Structure 1
Amino acid sequence: MGDILTLLTVFIIMFLFGMTILRIGLYQLSYHRMKSLLALFADHPIKGMLTGIVVTGILQSSSCTMIITVGLVAVGALSFKQSIGIMLGANIGTTVTLELLSLSHNIPIWPMLVLGCILLFFRKPVLFGTGGILFGLGTMFVALHGFSTLAQPIQQLPIIQDMLAFTNLFPSLSIAVGTVLTAIIQSSTASTGIAMSFLNEGLFTMPSAIGIMLGANIGTCITAWLASLGSNQEAKLVAMAHIWLNVIGVLIFAPFLEEMAMVSGWLANTPMQQLAHISVLFNVISSIVVLPFLKQFTSFVLLVHGKKEIR
């Protein structure tokens, strides 16, 4: 058991390392432009949402987008109300990574790793950034395959068998698993990536995997909350609004895990792509439903946290 858990830890670290390299490459190419883009196009909720989608899709991290947003609100470049639209877009944009991961079995990994590694030795920002993107994605794909190879050995452990049986019997509990796991490793993509691999190998049922994905949407809010500590009132409200947005969305969808699993079967043929597509569907619906009620949602967050109306 110790060897299996050690390997699982190694693959998680490898996945997070790949994400870090990927983000370094993306930051090298676009970070400062994305920061300016957020500050410039958040004057209207729809524009803010579309900007959030683009920025998060490019940076491959909703947490990063929210950290930038918290920082912009803290220095007065954005208002709390303007940040809500960006927040909605960030939840949609983060699904791009999962869609890429769902294609890991169809992408030649080793050429990506070799070419990416070579490009990392160049000083030119475009070449270095491209190398970071290729090498980071390749490393994440290798980690996903690692999770898949561990699926069957892990399944043989009695304690894991009991846990999986319990989770598959009560899929709603997997939401808590996804929340805690994501809060610990600080990556909703990593948590959902693990669920993808285990789902593909038959350890999880689709409802349980969807539950972990939903929980990951809550757990990822911890990063922005930590970034808001020590900031002003508006910046803290941004982080709390992000938490409330995801908690409310998950609570609404939680009773329908079986129905979402059925819908996922209509969206794609492979389990990994089905989970990726249902993640897109969940985040798009959640954001679009909230968009017409931004004023009410903002008032709700202010009321819950005992704050007066702010700009």
Structure 2
Amino acid sequence: MSETSALVTLLGGVAVFMFGMNLASDHLKRLAENRVRDLLGRISNRNYLSIFVGVLLTIILQSSGAVTSLLVSLGRAKVVTLMEVMGVIIGTAIGSTLTVQLISFKVTEFGFGIFAFSFAVYFVVQKSIPKSIASVCMGFGMIFWGLQLMSDGTNVLRENTFLLSAFKTLNDFPIWTMLITTAFTGFVHSSAVVIGLAMSLATSGIITFHDAMYWVYGANIGTTSTALLAAIGGNYVGRRVAWAHFWYKVGSVLVLIGFTSQFVELVDSFSANIGRGIANAHTLFNILAAVIFYPFIPLGVKLITKYIVPKESEQDFKVKFLEDKIEEPLVVIAQARREALRMADIVSAMVCDSITLFKSYNVDLTTSIGDRDNQVDLLHREIKMHLVDLSRIKGLGSDILELIDFTSDLESAADVVDGGLRRLASKKHRLKLEFSKEGWSDLTQLYSGVIDLMKLSIASFELRDKELAEKVISKKRELRKLERRLRESHIERLNRRLKESMNTSEIHLDVLAEFRRISGLITNHAYNIIEGHR
């Protein structure tokens, strides 16, 4: 084999290895989707349990980067806290060593055979689960096959004087080796690829066991790039998770790098060959790091929390006007009305944004709608808590009831947007459906009417004006008639067998119904205003 062919074989081996990793990982996710959800539900402040969760998740997903990216997403959604995920982060580091352990065994010569057999099985079986299992086996076959190609390439290239000189220069400056492998790992998003390449180079005699340890260090730090990238544009919780992962890996390397020679001697003493030695060193390095840093998790969380603070726009949402120590009932009612108007503005913005999801589905906007629904829930809860204690005071019952009814209706309207309209938009996007031009025009017409009603409704509540309240009720009746007319228009399009209308019929009618529900909810308080003026 010529040196050019050897270089192509080496690079091809890296590509096959990476493709195999992705294939196995994707289908393991599908096979173990429910198991992943179950494991995520077991994350808790008990870090020793979370470590095992991290190990299992990484074994299932075959990527510590994928697990930490998932943790960043959960952090952004504020589903988990930094303290809860620290154990998982430590566990992912240990779990990621399993793939390297597998490829260190002398099974590379069977890689192509495993791939070929699994490929044949994939086309024979019909059911989805056996197909996914065959795909996982194809992925592992490609991992072993890719490693064999990498080994074949490095065996030839070890005679190349330029390559040997380049690696000798790198080996003389091990910190540069670590920095380059860190960047390379960040580029390929896989520590297993980098360590697998190091094993091939070491087996071919191009680098020593001691040199390979700096590849291990770089691969461990570089794998944090996936989570750091996932944290871009996220909130402070996601950033804390990503940077906690980064500093844990950097800290692990800084603690052990000064003992590299002694560490290599220790591992070499019980390893059968240099390939097994690198795999064992990778595993032992991460286990030692877990043992050393486990007691310092609370301190690490405290430091990360101190230095990675929320921006002003990320401050936790809370009530603005209600105060706990106010004893004057009329002041509390006035404060509650201001919070109710704030709540109304949030719901109004949610309704305004809902139509956008049907035009161009946006994941960030769906997340924002969910966040605002949580804000509405919080305001509703706080307003009720402050008003319930006043309900026993004579003469205030009607004012309190009006406020509670209004905020309850707003909370229900927010639920319609979040649980109803958002779900329907997601379904339309998932099924890749499009409304007909006439159908879309009808939906936007009803939507515009609901927005106008919303503005009128908020103004009538704020001013407690009887004339405005009567306009709200009149507007609602107009919208009911419009909604019935638009339903008839849709049925007429179905009779014409209009393709888009037939495909989107269920979603279209449900959207009309949800807008009708919102119009009813935001009108209810108008009847109370009219009743109060009698």
Counterpart CA distance in 1 for 2:33 and 2:289 is 27
Which residue of 2 is the match for residue 283 of structure 1? 286
Counterpart CA distance in 2 for 1:116 and 1:99 is 22
- Residue 107 of structure 1 deviates from its aligned partner by 6.9
Secondary structure of the structure 1 residue equivalent to 2:9:
helix
* Alignment pair present for 1:88 and 2:94: no
Q: 2:163 aligns with which of 141, 146, 160?
A: 160
Counterpart CA distance in 2 for 1:64 and 1:99 is 19
Q: How many pairs were matched up?
A: 310
Distance 1:270 1:105, change over 3 A: farther
Distance 1:110 1:14, change over 3 A: closer
Counterpart CA distance in 2 for 1:162 and 1:194 is 18
Which residue of 1 is the match for residue 197 of structure 2? 194
Gaps of 5+ in 2: 317-534
- Residue 150 of structure 1 deviates from its aligned partner by 1.3
Which residue of 2 is the match for residue 226 of structure 1? 229
Counterpart CA distance in 2 for 1:104 and 1:27 is 27
- 1:92-136 CA distances to partner (integer Å, 9 max, x unpaired)? 000010011101437733442133213333343331221122111
Quick one: which amino acid aligns to residue 304 of structure 2? V
Quick one: which amino acid aligns to residue 267 of structure 1? F
Where do residues 135-284 of structure 1 align in structure 2 (5 Å cutoff)?
135-284=138-287
- Residue 241 of structure 1 deviates from its aligned partner by 0.7
Counterpart CA distance in 2 for 1:73 and 1:305 is 14
Distance 1:28 1:104, change over 3 A: farther
Q: 2:104 aligns with which of 102, 105, 110?
A: 102
Quick one: which amino acid aligns to residue 226 of structure 2? T
Distance 1:261 1:170, change over 3 A: farther
- 1:151-173 CA distances to partner (integer Å, 9 max, x unpaired)? 13323333322221123334343
Which residue of 2 is the match for residue 21 of structure 1? 23
Which residue of 2 is the match for residue 40 of structure 1? 42
Distance 1:105 1:169, change over 3 A: farther
Counterpart CA distance in 1 for 2:121 and 2:26 is 13
Counterpart CA distance in 1 for 2:21 and 2:251 is 28
Counterpart CA distance in 2 for 1:42 and 1:162 is 51
Counterpart CA distance in 1 for 2:46 and 2:121 is 39
Secondary structure of the structure 2 residue equivalent to 1:204:
coil
Counterpart CA distance in 1 for 2:129 and 2:269 is 40
Which residue of 2 is the match for residue 119 of structure 1? 121
Which residue of 1 is the match for residue 33 of structure 2? 31
Quick one: which amino acid aligns to residue 194 of structure 1? L
Counterpart CA distance in 2 for 1:40 and 1:89 is 14
Cα pair 1:112 1:138 within 8 Å, conserved: yes
Which residue of 1 is the match for residue 63 of structure 2? 61
Distance 1:299 1:68, change over 3 A: same
Quick one: which amino acid aligns to residue 11 of structure 1? G
Distance 1:267 1:178, change over 3 A: farther
Counterpart CA distance in 1 for 2:164 and 2:108 is 30
Cα pair 1:25 1:128 within 8 Å, conserved: no
Give me the CA root mean square deviation: 2.1
- Residue 248 of structure 1 deviates from its aligned partner by 0.8
Which residue of 1 is the match for residue 440 of structure 2? none
Distance 1:36 1:71, change over 3 A: farther
- Residue 84 of structure 1 deviates from its aligned partner by 0.7
- 1:148-199 CA distances to partner (integer Å, 9 max, x unpaired)? 1111332333332222112333434321232121112111110000001111
Cα pair 1:101 1:141 within 8 Å, conserved: yes
Which residue of 1 is the match for residue 11 of structure 2? 9
Cα pair 1:42 1:51 within 8 Å, conserved: no
Counterpart CA distance in 1 for 2:273 and 2:181 is 21
Distance 1:152 1:118, change over 3 A: closer
Secondary structure of the structure 2 residue equivalent to 1:120:
helix
Q: 1:296 aligns with which of 293, 299, 307?
A: 299
Quick one: which amino acid aligns to residue 308 of structure 2? H
Cα pair 1:22 1:135 within 8 Å, conserved: yes
Gaps of 5+ in 1: none
* TM-score for the superposition, normalised by structure 1: 0.92
Secondary structure of the structure 2 residue equivalent to 1:40:
coil
Cα pair 2:10 2:154 within 8 Å, conserved: no
Counterpart CA distance in 2 for 1:245 and 1:50 is 17
Which residue of 1 is the match for residue 365 of structure 2? none
Q: 1:128 aligns with which of 127, 131, 145?
A: 131
Q: Which sits farther off after the overlay, 163-172 or 211-220?
A: 163-172
Distance 1:303 1:157, change over 3 A: farther
Counterpart CA distance in 2 for 1:257 and 1:166 is 19
Secondary structure of the structure 2 residue equivalent to 1:176:
helix
- Residue 70 of structure 1 deviates from its aligned partner by 1.2
Q: Which sits farther off after the overlay, 283-292 or 151-160?
A: 151-160
Counterpart CA distance in 2 for 1:124 and 1:69 is 32
Cα pair 1:172 1:254 within 8 Å, conserved: no
Counterpart CA distance in 2 for 1:40 and 1:123 is 34
Counterpart CA distance in 1 for 2:83 and 2:207 is 39
- Residue 15 of structure 1 deviates from its aligned partner by 0.9
Counterpart CA distance in 1 for 2:4 and 2:183 is 22
Counterpart CA distance in 2 for 1:119 and 1:76 is 43
Cα pair 1:175 1:212 within 8 Å, conserved: yes
